[in-house]
Amino acid sequence: MQGKVTVMSDSFDDTPTADNVQPVVRARKFELVDEAGRMRAQLGLPVEDAPSLALYDEEGKNRARLSLHGDGRPGLILYSREGQAKIVLSFDGDYPGLTIVDRNDRSRITLSLYEDRIGLVFNDTLGQRRALLSVSDDGAPGLTLIDQTGHGRAGLRLDADGNPSLTLLNEAGKVRASLMTVSDGTARLILLDELGRTRGSFVVGDDVSALILDDSQQRGRTIVGVTADDKPVMGLMGVDGKPRAIVGTLEDEDTATIALTDSDGSPRLALGVAGSGSQTLEYFNSDGEAHAILDLPGGALSESKLDWGKNIQTIASIVQAIGAIAKDFHP
């Protein structure tokens, strides 16, 4: 059978029998009409021999269309009463996508699957991407916020191990700040300059917290922190990463100390001020042994009332703590 087939009957009987069942029906177009003669469905090849099934409402408006493009890609479109495409299911190659369109014919939401990655895109009223919710091929979810120019400005992620991170970017796409936690529970805030270089970070772990300031070569040069034994410390670092000047408290928790170190990180000069107000200046030789002790005020060289044999070990431990913070927590 060739051509258009139209069936209209008030007493249409669709009960299959041996007399009314045709083994093969061939045509270029099929139309299904209701009792009022209105077309409600159409099956045909409207464009370049691409098969299409269209469904119509009682007013004759196309409300749904299932089609197969010439390259074999299937598609489904759902229309509004005004005839606007509102939901589009399509394929890009072998990868499916679902798009929701607003009343101005602009795409507002797109759900897509590419290989093992899935993404949900939210567009503004101009059709520009403003937010992306995604899951990578390793199962890590993420949320990206996008500005009016199409640049990602903020990103929230969970890595494959479940560690969260928040990244802030400038208008050029350079990371300026990053907040994250790692598997051992340590939290880090990293600040970067316009060239993407780390210039400062704040670290909080189970037994240590520290603020690290970097130079233009991303070397930690100033460190302020609290050690594992709850002692406050500050260190000024050389370009080689070794402490050259430190501020801390001795074991008695009552004596504040400023110590200067040599290029090997060994203390060579220390100034201590006890809670009582007494001041002591001590010089150390290259072996870390007390070379001279000056009690102030008075200016007399004498044996210090403080146990400097113990104090030098405390100063050395402060230096080591500063060095460990720089090594373990510097990004």
**What span, in angstroms and rounded, lies between the C-alpha atoms of 76 and 105?**
16
Q: At residue 11, does pLDDT exceed 50?
A: no
Terminal-to-terminal C-alpha distance of the chain: 76
Count of beta carbons in the 10 Å neighbourhood of residue 159? 17
For the ranges 52-56, 162-166, 230-234, the lowest mean pLDDT is seen at: 230-234
DSSP string, 102-170: -TTS-EEEEEEEETTEEEEEEE-TTS-EEEEEEE-TTS-EEEEEE-TTS-EEEEEEE-TT--EEEEEE-
The β-bridge relationship of strands 4-6 and 29-33 is parallel
At 312, is the pLDDT very low, low, confident or very high (cuts 50, 70, 90)?
A: low
Backbone angles phi, psi at 329, to 5 degrees: -120, 0
224-252 pLDDT, tens digit each: 888 777 878 888 888 887 788 888 876 66
Q: 88: pLDDT confidence band, cut at 50, 70 and 90?
A: very high
Q: Which fold has domain 1-83?
A: Outer Surface Protein A; domain 3 (3.90.930)
pLDDT band at 86, cuts 50/70/90? very high
Assess whether pLDDT exceeds 50 at residue 202: yes
Max Cα-Cα span within the chain: 128
CA-wise closest residue to 49 among 26, 29, 23: 29
Q: Are 80 and 65 in contact (CB under 8 A)?
A: no
Q: Which residue has the higher pLDDT, 208 or 75?
A: 75
The pLDDT value given to residue 112: 93
Nearest Cα residue to 88 out of 74, 100, 72:
100
Q: 12: which 2 tokens? A: 């249409």
pLDDT greater than 90 at residue 110: yes
User: What count of residues does the chain have?
Assistant: 331
Q: One fold for both 1-83 and 213-331?
A: yes
Q: Nearest to residue 245, comparing CAs of 257, 231, 261? A: 261
Q: Where are the domains of the chain?
A: 1-83, 213-331
The CATH code for residues 213-331 is 3.90.930
- The amino acid sitting at 86 is K
Of 177, 150, 151, whose CA–CA distance to 165 is shortest? 177
Which of residues 93 and 276 earns the better pLDDT score? 93
What sections of the chain are H helices per DSSP? 308-329
Q: How far apart are CA 54 and CA 44, in angstroms?
A: 9
Does residue 321 register a pLDDT over 70?
no
Average pLDDT in the 102-110 region?
93
For residue 30, give both structure tokens.
């099929």
Neighbour tally for 266: CB within 10 Å: 18
Q: What is the pLDDT of residues 150-161, one digit of tens each?
A: 999 999 999 888
Q: pTM of this prediction? A: 0.72
Of 230, 233, 231, 232, nearest in space to 222 by CA: 233
What pLDDT score does 114 carry?
A: 87
Average pLDDT of the chain, as a whole number: 81
